[in-house]
Structures are given as C-alpha cells and as structure tokens.
C-alpha cells in the first residue's frame, strides 16, 4: 500500500440493492471528509433505485421502501457525490466494492485505501474482519451498522486507530 501523502481524506460507504455493480443500484451514500482527527464535512443521501428493495436489504439496513421511493434519483445525487470526493483519496472498508459501484454509476475514484486489507495485514489470522467486530476490538462506537454514514464514520475511526495504535495491534 503506497504511503498517504495528502492530508485530506474521505471515508465513504455505500448501501446498495445487491452485490453486482452492473445490475444493482446505490440506495445510500455516506461520506466523511477529514484531516487527521478533525472532521471537515459530512455527506449523506438516500437514493431512489427505482425498484423494490429485497427483504434482506430492508432488514439489513433498516431503510424503508418509502424512504427510497421519496429520495432523489442517482442522477440528482451524482454531482454532489462527485464534488465531495473530487481529488481526494477514498478510504473504505472493502473499498473495492464501493469503488466498483461508484465507477459503474459514473463517478471517478482517486487513490483507494482499504481498512479491511489493513486489518488483515495488522491482525493476521483474525477470526473476523467485519467493521462491527473491528469497531468493538478498538473500542469505538458503531451505532448503525449498514447505514452508509455510520459505516463511513466507523471506517474513519478504524483508519485513525490503525495510524494511532499500530504498535498496540
């Protein structure tokens, strides 16, 4: 993993209708722009996928069909997402998943940093590298798993913990 030279970063998470970026849709975007320990800005938006959500997605995220039906379409949200991440490295937990959806939905991504890969390197043989389990291990709050902004905040905290506490790991 190349060193991080820029001091402003964006932690980003997406919730989607499924796993395939070519056939599935984004339903929620959450992002946190930060420098070191200082939060600069946040971005959060629900997105109308123009389809019914599966029972699994409804249960996992807690997002309701009515919420996404009332949300703007991706074309209305895309420009704001592009502006928020423009020119800034993106951090994510399993960031390749999020980046593949962004790219398939017309958003260019910059350098990517993956906290799941960091965890696999720093904690070899760990039983589980989920964001929830790693949040518990490092002792910080992750109040709403599978909600995009909450996951983005937890990912930022995990990234910061790796930088701050690497020797303790």
Q: What contacts 58, CB < 8 A, 6 or more positions away?
A: 64, 65
Instruction: Give SS3 for 2.
Output: coil
Could you say which DSSP state residue 51 is in? S
Of 47-56, 58-67, 160-169, the range with the lowest mean pLDDT is 160-169
Which pLDDT value is given to residue 77? 98
Quick check: 34 and 156 in contact, CB under 8 A? Answer: yes
Quick check: 9 and 33 in contact, CB under 8 A? Answer: yes
- By DSSP bridging, strand 112-114 and strand 90-92 are parallel
Q: pLDDT tens for residues 124-165?
A: 887 789 999 999 998 988 989 999 999 999 999 999 988 865
CATH of the domain at 76: 3.30.420.10
Mean pLDDT over residues 87-114, rounded? 97
Which pLDDT value is given to residue 19? 97
Q: Is residue 2 part of a domain?
A: no
Overall domain count for the chain: 1
Domain assignment of residue 22, given as a range = 8-159
Cβ neighbourhood burial of 9 (10 Å; 0-12, 13-18, 19+): buried
Which pLDDT value is given to residue 152? 98
Which pLDDT value is given to residue 7? 86
């Amino acid at each position: 993993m190349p060193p991080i030279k820029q001091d402003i970063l964006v932690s980003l998470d997406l919730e989607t209708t499924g796993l395939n970026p070519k056939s599935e849709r984004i339903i929620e975007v959450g992002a946190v722009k930060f420098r070191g320990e200082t939060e600069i800005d946040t971005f959060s938006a629900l997105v109308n996928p123009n389809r019914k959500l599966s029972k699994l997605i409804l249960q996992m995220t807690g997002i309701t069909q009515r919420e996404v039906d009332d949300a703007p379409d991706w074309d209305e949200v895309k420009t704001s997402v592009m502006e928020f991440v423009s020119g800034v490295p993106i951090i994510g937990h399993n960031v390749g998943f999020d980046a593949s959806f962004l790219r398939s939905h017309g958003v260019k991504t910059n350098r990517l940093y993956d906290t799941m890969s960091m965890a696999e390197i720093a904690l070899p043989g760990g039983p589980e590298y989920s964001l929830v389990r790693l949040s518990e291990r490092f002792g910080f709050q992750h109040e709403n798993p599978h909600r995009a902004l909450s996951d983005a905040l937890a990912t930022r905290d995990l990234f910061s913990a790796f930088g701050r506490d690497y020797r303790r790991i």
